[in-house]
Amino acid sequence: MLKQDIQSAATKALKSGDQMVSGTLRMLLASIISKEKEKRYKISKEKPEALEDQLVKESELTDEQIIEVISYEIKKRRDAIVLYEKGNRPELADKEKKEIEILQNYLPEQLSNDELEKLVQEAIAKTGSKEIKDMGKVMADLNPKVKGKADGGQVSKIVKEFLSK
């Protein structure tokens, strides 16, 4: 499971003294654990009779959900990079870029621009979309196919390009 891979990589980085990798992975693990606690809380409200062991087991995130957490963490860093560059803080922007590189190791292989464009064209044809106002339909069709494999902003940009032609 992905969570165990991340935990073992964090331990290995900690033992080797690689503070950048260990810090980034520990932060990621904290985000994953936070999501699991959130999920456990929701389950406990729905099933108040559930035992603690059962709650822990049911609240474990799937690999897909962990990929969503990783994607979210990468998005936060991309947003931070923009702000750091605006604030003339290149050293902090570089740190965020390195963290993104570390996090991307735990995502599935990313789709190329050509593959993305092909998927966008298929989604547009399938939904019969012709205008920008139909973008929601196209994105709804695309999201399950590209989840974790492409940056949402990039997908959105390509969809807009095709719909505005």
CATH assignment at residue 94: 1.10.1510.10
Same domain, 75 and 144: no
What's the pLDDT score for residue 53? 81
Same domain, 95 and 126: no
* Total tally of structural domains belonging to the chain: 2
pLDDT-above-70 percentage for the chain: 100
- Out of 104, 131, 150, a domain closes at 104
Structure tokens at 87: 């604030």
> From CA 15, how far away is CA 108, in angstroms rounded?
26
Same domain, 80 and 97: yes
Same domain, 94 and 37: yes
- Out of 77, 104, 131, a domain closes at 104
Same domain, 76 and 147: no
Same domain, 7 and 61: yes
What's the pLDDT score for residue 7? 96
What's the pLDDT score for residue 162? 85
- Out of 65, 82, 104, a domain closes at 104
Burial 22-38 (b: 16+ CB within 10 A, else e): bbbbbebbebbeebbee
Same domain, 51 and 126: no
What's the pLDDT score for residue 46? 86
Question: Which stretches in the chain have pLDDT values below 70?
Answer: none
What's the pLDDT score for residue 102? 96
What is the full DSSP assignment across 20-51?
HHHHHHHHHHHHHHHHHHHHHHHHHHH-TT--
38-65 tens-digit pLDDT: 998 998 888 888 788 888 888 899 998 9
Task: Round the CA-based radius of gyration of the chain to a whole number and report it.
Answer: 19
What is the extent of the structural domain holding 89? 2-104
CA 83, 110, 107, 21 torsion: positive or negative? negative
Q: Specify the DSSP class assigned to residue 131.
A: S
pTM flag (> 0.95): no
What's the pLDDT score for residue 45? 87
